[in-house]
Chain A
Amino acid sequence: MRKFRVVLGPSPVHFPDDTALRVRGSKVTVGVAMEPYLAVDGLSKSYDGVPAVRGLSFTISPAETYGLLGPNGAGKSTTISCLYGLVRPDAGRALIGGLDVRTELRRIKALAGIVPQDDCLDPDLSVEENLWVYGHYFGIESGEVRRRADELLRFVELADHRKKKVPELSGGMRRRLLIGRALINQPKLLILDEPTTGLDPQARHLVWSRLRELKRRGVTMLLTTHYMDEAQMLCDRLAIMDHGRMSVESTPRELIDRHVGASVVELHAPPPGAARPFSEAGIETHEFEDIVYLFPRDQTPDVLRKLSETGVAFASRPANLEDVFLKIVGRGLRD
Chain B
Amino acid sequence: MIDARYVARVWRRNAVVWTKYWLGSFVGTVGEPLLYLFLLGYGMERLIKEVEGMSYSRFIAPGLILTASMYDATFECTYASFTRMTKQNTYRSIISTPVNLSEVVAGDILWATTRGVISAVLVSALLALLGLLDSPTLIFMPLLALLCGALFGSLAMVATGLARDYDFFTYFFTLVVSPMFLFSGIFFPLEGMSGWAVALAESLPMTWMVRMSRVLAYGRMDPAFFGDIVKSILSILVLFILSVRLIERRLIR
In the complex, the answer to whether B89 meets A119 with C-beta atoms within 8 Å is: yes
Q: What is the distance, in angstroms, from A179's C-beta to the closest C-beta of chain B?
A: 13
Partner-contacting stretch, out of A129-137, A209-217, A220-228, A325-333: A129-137
Interface membership of B100, Cβ < 8 A: yes
Interface membership of A313, Cβ < 8 A: no
Q: Which residue of A lies closest to B80 (CB)?
A: A124
In the complex, the answer to whether B252 meets A85 with C-beta atoms within 8 Å is: yes
**Residues of chain B lying within 8 A (CB to CB) of residue A264:** none
In the complex, the answer to whether A86 meets B16 with C-beta atoms within 8 Å is: no
**Residues of chain A lying within 8 A (CB to CB) of residue B16:** 125, 129, 133
Q: Which residue of B lies closest to A124 (CB)?
A: B17
If A133-B13, A139-B9 touch, whether A120 touches B90 (CB-CB below 8 Å) is yes
Count how many chain B residues have C-beta atoms less than 8 Å from C-beta atoms of the other chain.
24
Partner-contacting stretch, out of B23-31, B49-57, B91-99: B91-99
Interface membership of B253, Cβ < 8 A: yes
Chain B 32-69, CB-CB to A under 8 Å as 1, else 0, gives: 00000000000000000000000000000000000000
| Complexed CA–CA distance, A151 and B16 (Å) | 22
Interface membership of B88, Cβ < 8 A: yes
14 extra A-B contacts, CB within 8 A, seeds A86-B92, A120-B90, A125-B16: A81-B253, A86-B95, A86-B251, A87-B252, A88-B252, A109-B98, A116-B93, A120-B89, A120-B92, A120-B93, A125-B17, A133-B12, A134-B97, A137-B99
**Residue of A85, A116, A123, A137 most packed against chain B (CB within 10 A):** A137
Interface membership of B5, Cβ < 8 A: yes
Total residue contacts A-B, CB cutoff 8 A: 69
In the complex, the answer to whether B97 meets A109 with C-beta atoms within 8 Å is: yes
**Residues of chain B lying within 8 A (CB to CB) of residue A88:** 252-253
Interface membership of A154, Cβ < 8 A: no
**Residues of chain A lying within 8 A (CB to CB) of residue B13:** 122, 133, 136-137
| Complexed CA–CA distance, A110 and B3 (Å) | 15
Chain B 225-253, CB-CB to A under 8 Å as 1, else 0, gives: 00000000000000000000000000111
**Residues of chain A lying within 8 A (CB to CB) of residue B20:** 124
In the complex, the answer to whether B253 meets A47 with C-beta atoms within 8 Å is: yes
Q: What is the distance, in angstroms, from B2's C-beta to the closest C-beta of chain A?
A: 12
Interface membership of A106, Cβ < 8 A: yes
| Complexed CA–CA distance, A120 and B91 (Å) | 9
> Which of A47, A123, A124, A139 lies in contact with B98, CB distance below 8 A?
A139
**6 A-B contact pairs sorted by A residue (CB < 8 Å):** A85-B95, A118-B89, A120-B90, A129-B16, A137-B9, A185-B97
> Which of A84, A107, A122 lies in contact with B96, CB distance below 8 A?
A84
In the complex, the answer to whether A122 meets B88 with C-beta atoms within 8 Å is: yes
If A118-B89, A122-B88, A123-B88 touch, whether A138 touches B253 (CB-CB below 8 Å) is no
**Residues of chain B lying within 8 A (CB to CB) of residue A120:** 88-90, 92-93
**Residues of chain A lying within 8 A (CB to CB) of residue B17:** 124-125
| Complexed CA–CA distance, A63 and B251 (Å) | 31
In the complex, the answer to whether A86 meets B253 with C-beta atoms within 8 Å is: yes
In the complex, the answer to whether A122 meets B253 with C-beta atoms within 8 Å is: no
